[in-house]
Amino acid sequence: MDSVTLASIEAARVRIGDAIHLSPCQLSHHLSELTGLPLHLKLENLQRTGSFKERGALNKLLTLSKVERDRGVIAASAGNHAQGVAFHAAARGIRAQIVMPLATPQIKVAATRSYGAEVILHGASYDEACEEALRRCALEDRTFIHPFDDAEVISGQGTIGLELLEQVPDIEAVVVPIGGGGLISGIACALKETNPKIRVIGVEPEKLPSMLRARENGAPITIAAEATIADGIAVRRAGDLTLPLVSRYVDEIVSVDDEEIASAILLLLEQEKTLAEGAGAAALAAVVQAKTNLRHRRTVVLVCGGNIDVTLLAKIIERGLVKDGRLLRVRVYLQDRPGALLSLTKILAHERANIVETLHNRAYYGVSLSETVIDVTLETRGASHITALSHALREGGFRFERIQ
C-alpha cells in the first residue's frame, strides 16, 4: 500500500479493532467558557501506552508478512511511538528494538523497556536517532516501523478522525499537534473526505516549525535542532508522504511557544484533571492563545499524549503558580536585632500568607552591619492578595523587593 485514503483508514479501524481504547471526547464546560467555543477534548492520553501512537504502530504491525515479523522490527522515537511499537510487538511475539534520543525523558525510556523492547539511546535529536535506526535496520536485516512517514501508520492514526465523526456529529473544526505530520494527515483525510467543510488546524512548536517550512518551500527541508518541552513533536524534517497530505487537507498551521504550552499543561491538570505532555497540550495552547480564528465553531482539541517527565511537570507547576501570583518570593530587609523576624512573621500570618521556604542571610546583598536579609517564599491567593500583602509590609515599616 502506498497511499492514504478514507478506505485505508476504515480498513485500519477494522484491523486494530478492540485492541485500541475508544478514547473519550467530551465537552469541556470550563474551556468552552474560557475560549468562547463549544470545545471538546479528545483524550488520547488515556491510551494504554499514554498516546495515540499505538494506533499507527499496531496497524503497521498487523500488515507485516510473517517474514517481516520474524526478522524483528526496529523504530526510532522520542518516546510515544517507541512505546506503541514495543507494547503491541511484544503482545504478538515480535522482537522490537527502539532507538531513542539521549535526551528522551526517563519515563518514556523506562516504559519502553518495561514493554519488552531493547532500547538504544543515540543522538541529540529524533533525526539522529532515526539515522541510527536505519543503519541498524540495514545491518541487522530488521523491519523498520516509521513513526509518521508510512501509509499504514498514517491510516492507523486516521482512525481518530472516524471516531470524532461519531462522537461529535456536528464537529466543525479540529486542532491537532504536528510533529512529522502522521497524526494530522490521517485525521484530516478521514474528516475532509467525509465532510470537506470541517476546518483542520495544525499546531507546531515555535522552535521547530518543520511542516510550516516545508509548505513554504514546497518540499521537506531539515531545520536546525532546538530544545522544546514538546519533545513528542520535536521533528526537524516533515515527511515526504505527510507533506502532500497536509498540503491537501490542512487549512492552517500555527505555532506556540514553550511558555504557552506549559500554561496549557497546567490548565488541563487543574481544570480538567487530565495530564498532558508538552506535545499533548500544544493544540489546546493554540486555542487558548487565540492563534487561529475559529468563529464559534464546534471544535475538538486533540490531547494526544500524557507521558510527561515528573521533574518537568514539577517545574511547570511551580512556574505556573508564580505566573498566576499564587507563589511569591520576596526579599525583606530587617534590622539585625531580636524580635525583627517575629514582627515580619506576624504580618504574614495576619495576611494569611503561608510560608513555604525562608533563607536568612547577613553577608550578601550589600546590607549594612546593622541589617540582615531574609528571602521568603509564600503561597498566596493571587494578585489581589499580593497587593494587600505588599501594603501591609510597607505599613509595618519593612523594606522589601519581589524576586522574579
State how far the Cα of 120 lies from the Cα of 320, in Å rounded to an integer.
Answer: 34
Domains of the chain, CATH where assigned: 6-52+150-320 (3.40.50.1100), 54-144 (3.40.50.1100), 325-402 (3.30.70.260)
Our measurement of the distance from residue 25's CA atom to the centroid of its chain's CA atoms, rounded to an integer in Å, reads: 18
Per-residue confidence (pLDDT) for residue 367, from 0 to 100:
58
| Coil vs helix vs strand at 324 | coil
| Coil vs helix vs strand at 206 | coil
Angle between helices 6-16 and 151-167 (to 10 degrees): 80
The answer to whether the beta carbons of residues 225 and 102 sit under 8 Å apart is no
- What stretches of 147-189 adopt beta strand conformation (E)? 173-177
The answer to whether the beta carbons of residues 250 and 198 sit under 8 Å apart is no
| Coil vs helix vs strand at 135 | helix
Residue with cell 487565540: 290
- What stretches of 122-224 adopt beta strand conformation (E)? 143-144, 173-177, 199-205
- Label the pairing between strands 252-256 and 299-303: unpaired
Our measurement of the distance from residue 112's CA atom to the centroid of its chain's CA atoms, rounded to an integer in Å, reads: 18
Per-residue confidence (pLDDT) for residue 325, from 0 to 100:
83
Per-residue confidence (pLDDT) for residue 372, from 0 to 100:
86
- The structure's pTM equals 0.88
State how far the Cα of 282 lies from the Cα of 285, in Å rounded to an integer.
Answer: 5
Side-chain half-sphere CA neighbours of 4 within 13 A? 38
State how far the Cα of 380 lies from the Cα of 327, in Å rounded to an integer.
Answer: 6
Per-residue confidence (pLDDT) for residue 122, from 0 to 100:
95
Q: Which three cell numbers stand for residue 331?
A: 526579599
Per-residue confidence (pLDDT) for residue 397, from 0 to 100:
92
Digit-by-digit pLDDT tens for the chain (404 residues) are 469 999 999 999 999 999 999 999 999 999 999 999 999 999 999 999 999 999 999 999 999 999 999 999 999 997 899 999 999 999 999 999 999 989 888 888 999 999 999 999 999 888 889 999 999 999 999 999 999 999 999 999 999 999 999 999 999 999 999 999 999 999 999 999 999 999 999 999 999 999 999 999 999 999 998 989 998 898 999 999 999 999 999 999 999 999 999 999 999 999 999 999 999 999 999 999 999 999 999 999 999 999 998 889 999 988 888 888 889 999 999 888 889 899 999 999 999 999 999 988 766 665 566 788 899 999 999 889 999 999 999 999 999 999 87
Our measurement of the distance from residue 135's CA atom to the centroid of its chain's CA atoms, rounded to an integer in Å, reads: 29
**Closest to 218 in 3D by CA, of 234, 240, 203:** 240
State how far the Cα of 320 lies from the Cα of 239, in Å rounded to an integer.
Answer: 34
